[in-house]
A and B are shown apart, each in its own frame.
Chain A
């Protein structure tokens, strides 16, 4: 932990987090503290539990039939698996962006972004418009869509749709956004835009991103966690992980010698 981190409280902390799909033990005792205003890259071979891990951070994992979670996840000091905690409220605090852009198909660009604030009780049109503009600007999409806000969200290109999904997540001011391979379906230009955006966003939110792209992880993240067979083998500063990994399994994976 750096000096700066020691002065801050973690925005998210997991304590011996375990996740199961029926009898299959997918995440095995992960304990990690994630500090605000950082981008975290989660890397590891397919099936190592990295997506399951991040889906535990907003209580999405339990939506899968037969799935189970043990251990604790603390969001801004509160256990999200505590008694009586509403998972829907947690998902408002921990947004998520998926591999394939998934704007609501029947909604306009405006409504895709406005729906979150509306569900949270924001009704006044002027305030909604302000929120939508702000979120689209934060997602670096405003200039491209400001003249066609009433068009369907699905009419946009893949990269624009993904930024629309990021704007939708930002509209409800979550402290954390999870991204599960958000650029794997995008072309290099759209990927570069999302990467730039993620760097910008860390001033406001903590981004935890699963990626298979080692260069992307090294380019944009402050911290990198390496998963293997359900365990977090190594978690550290990205520069350290990519120049001088502590664990030989991390070294072998990032240098492409297995996985």
Chain B
């Protein structure tokens, strides 16, 4: 006999994954819009973000109900706590995707020839794979994949720094480049924040699977 409690836990997990899938879709749309210079795709990003917000409330409600009614412990408690935290990360990720969409729209409006830096494509690909893998790690409670994601975050940080340096140089050389360059910097920073949230999810998966808190381990 499957317990109702088990069904509720699976329900929370399914909603978190639906939310993750929606964030992935929004991210894919914004990248497509950015790199193919297709402003029509940006509307879709806003629709997906609205879905993410709705799902956030649903996940929170389910988690609160489960804590109040079932008082989960051990791995069940860790799943509910991880779901609440991942939920917040995913909602923030939705906001960051929207930030990228706003920047892209501004760049398109300026009608300027946007330089699509190879590093921007690279950072977007790295971030997309980190987001996908963090959600896979959540599904499988995969500790080794999570640890790998933590390492990949450094690479994204370096790419962002490189893009900023490049944009600063470009602005110094040509004042006309200031606006598009600032836009590119904002986009790079949002990609980097997305990677941070994927890293948070990976840390939550490690907590979920092992009960160990690995956050801020670098600072120890």
Q: Tell me the bound Cα distance from A214 to B74 in angstroms.
A: 12
Hey, what's the 0/1 contact readout for B49-88 against A, CB within 8 Å counting as 1?
0000000000000000000000111111110000000000
Q: Does A255 contact B (CB under 8 A)?
A: yes
Whether A251 pairs with B75 at a CB distance below 8 angstroms is: yes
Mark contacts of A233-257 with chain B using CB atoms, 8 A cut-off: 1 yes-contact digit, 0 otherwise.
Answer: 0000000001111000011001110
The complex places the Cα of A255 from the Cα of B9 at a distance, in Å, of 12
Tell me, rounded to whole Å, the shortest Cβ–Cβ distance linking B81 to chain A.
9
Measured between alpha carbons, how far is A254 from B75 in the docked complex, in Å?
10
Residues 188-214 of chain B, each 1 if its beta carbon lies under 8 Å from chain A, else 0:
000000000000000000000011000
Task: Contacts A243-B211, A244-B211 given; indicate if A255 touches B71 (C-beta within 8 A).
Answer: no
Is A215 engaged at the interface, CB distance under 8 Å to the other chain?
A: yes
The answer to whether B71 touches A243 (Cβ under 8 A) is: no
Interface of B, helix, strand, loop or mixed by DSSP: helix
Q: How far is the CA of A143 from the CA of B74 in the complex (A)?
A: 40
CA distance A244 to B81 in the complex (A): 13
Report A-chain residues with C-beta under 8 Å of the C-beta of B210.
244
The answer to whether A214 and B73 have CB atoms under 8 Å apart is: yes
CB distance from B23 to the nearest CB of A (A): 28
A218: chain B residues within 8 A (beta carbon): 73
Contact A256:B5 (CB < 8 A) given known A243-B78, A245-B74, A251-B74? yes
Total contacts A-B at CB 8 Å: 29
Question: In the complex, how many angstroms separate the beta carbon of B12 from the nearest chain A beta carbon?
Answer: 15
Contact B73 A254 (CB under 8 A): yes
Q: Which residues on A sit within 8 Å (CB–CB) of B73?
A: 214, 218, 242-243, 254-255
CA distance A254 to B5 in the complex (A): 13
Cβ of B151 < 8 Å from any Cβ of A? no
Q: Is the CB of B3 closer than 8 A to any CB of chain A?
A: yes
Q: How large is the interface on B (under 10, 10 to 19, 20 to 34, 35 or more residues)?
A: 10 to 19
Task: Please indicate the chain A residues that have their CB under 8 angstroms from the CB of B3 in the complex.
Answer: 256
Residues 67-82 of A, flagged 1 when their CB comes within 8 A of B and 0 if not, give: 0000000000000000
CA of A254 to CA of B70, assembled, Å: 12
Contact flags (1/0) for B72-111 with A, using CB distance below 8 Å? 1111111000000000000000000000000000000000
Most buried by B among A242, A245, A251, A255: A255
- Contact status A254-B74, CB under 8 Å: yes
CA distance A254 to B72 in the complex (A): 9
Within 8 A of A (CB), among B105-145: none
Taken residue by residue from 1 to 39, chain B's Cβ proximity to chain A (1 for < 8 Å, 0 otherwise) reads as: 001010000000000000000000000000000000000
A243/B5 contact (C-beta < 8 A), A215-B71, A255-B72 known: no
Return chain A residues, CB-CB under 8 Å to B71.
Answer: 214-215
- Identify the closest chain A residue to B71 (Cβ): A215
Residues of B within 8 Å of A215, CB to CB, are 71
In the assembly, what is the distance between CA of A251 and CA of B78, in Å?
12
Q: Which residues of B contact A255 (CB under 8 A)?
A: 72-76
Q: Nearest A residue to B6 by beta-carbon distance?
A: A257
A244: nearest chain-B partner, CB-CB: B211
Least CB separation from A240: chain B residue: B211
Distance A254 CA – B74 CA, assembled complex (angstroms):
8
Give 29 A-B contacts (CB < 8 Å), ordered by A residue.
Answer: A214-B71, A214-B73, A215-B71, A218-B73, A242-B73, A242-B74, A242-B77, A243-B73, A243-B74, A243-B77, A243-B78, A243-B211, A244-B74, A244-B78, A244-B210, A244-B211, A245-B74, A250-B74, A251-B74, A251-B75, A254-B73, A254-B74, A255-B72, A255-B73, A255-B74, A255-B75, A255-B76, A256-B3, A256-B5
Q: Which residues of A contact B (CB under 8 A)?
A: 214-215, 218, 242-245, 250-251, 254-256
Please name 4 further chain A to chain B contacts, defined as beta carbons within 8 Å, in addition to the given A244-B210, A254-B74, sorted by A numbering: A214-B71, A215-B71, A243-B77, A251-B74
